[in-house]
A and B are shown apart, each in its own frame.
Chain A
Amino acid sequence: MARFGGDGLECARGERLVFAGLGFDVGPGDALLLEGRNGSGKTSLLRLMAGLARPAAGRIAWDGADIGDDAEGHRARTRYIGHLDAVKPQLSVIENLSFWAALHGGGAAGAQAGLTAFGLDTLARAPARYLSAGQRRRLALARLAAAPAALWLMDEPTIALDRASIAALIAAIAAHRATGGMAVIATNVDIGLDGARLLSLEDFAVADGP
């Protein structure tokens, strides 16, 4: 399995450098926790890792090759869970999930696996309009299990989740890591992942930005 790493990363928000000289390295089965105060750039770093934005300087590489060179390949091996759940109220739970599963090449079985992984089986037919925030969050997380990928990028995944759902998430991450998958999670809440490494963005903050 490959290594996912970055070095000399700089991220600018408007004119201000949010962080500089940031490096990270994730191997198969690893979990990396990003933590730091608000505005330290956790979300920005995750979006750089997903390839949604390009770093102001520095490089992110998968197996040594810059992710920008093979954008489509990087998209295929990455699942990104942002702050927003990407759930369409007009569609039912299963319609939402099977769209994303099919889009990433997973079949109907994938969608079903996603539902069971996050306890949404009973809600399959329900229109997403009636879901609570926690249920919507679980539907977003179900995309991870519905269409497997090597790299999971998650931004504050535990927001609005109840205790049982957090346990389901931890189990899913453990299973993912067991198969050699990687996970990078931005969070300020200690979610008790054993053997997870910590990256504090404050070490790379640019204190006296221009």
Chain B
Amino acid sequence: MDRMAEFLAMGNYGGYVWPTYILAAVILVGLAIQSRRWLRNEERAVRAMEAEAPHRRAAAASGSARGETAR
């Protein structure tokens, strides 16, 4: 049990080493989750708009393809 306590103490620098790794985890994981959630929201938004204007979707798709490649 004391090996764990000693590991956590980090040669009494624990107060600085652990916040470093916790902060790194919070930033990296947080950014990854925010990015995925943003992507999912955009996918839902585009799907909703396409559902709203179905009969134009074919034209829009061709239009957007033409628009994209032409630029």
- Chain A residues with a Cβ under 8 A of chain B: 10, 12, 15, 17, 56-57, 206, 208-210
Across the interface, do B70 and A210 meet the contact criterion of CB distance under 8 Å?
no
Across the interface, do B63 and A206 meet the contact criterion of CB distance under 8 Å?
yes
Across the interface, do A210 and B71 meet the contact criterion of CB distance under 8 Å?
no
CA gap between A47 and B12 in the complex, in Å: 69
User: What DSSP secondary structure best describes chain B's contact surface?
Assistant: helix
Is the C-beta of B56 less than 8 angstroms from some C-beta in chain A? yes
- Chain B residues with a Cβ under 8 A of chain A: 56, 59-60, 63-64, 67-68, 70-71
User: What DSSP secondary structure best describes chain A's contact surface?
Assistant: loop
Contacts of A57 in B (CB 8 A): 70-71
Across the interface, do A12 and B60 meet the contact criterion of CB distance under 8 Å?
no
Contacts of B59 in A (CB 8 A): 208
Across the interface, do A10 and B64 meet the contact criterion of CB distance under 8 Å?
no
Q: Which 5 A-B pairs have the closest CB atoms?
A: A210-B64, A208-B59, A210-B67, A210-B63, A208-B63
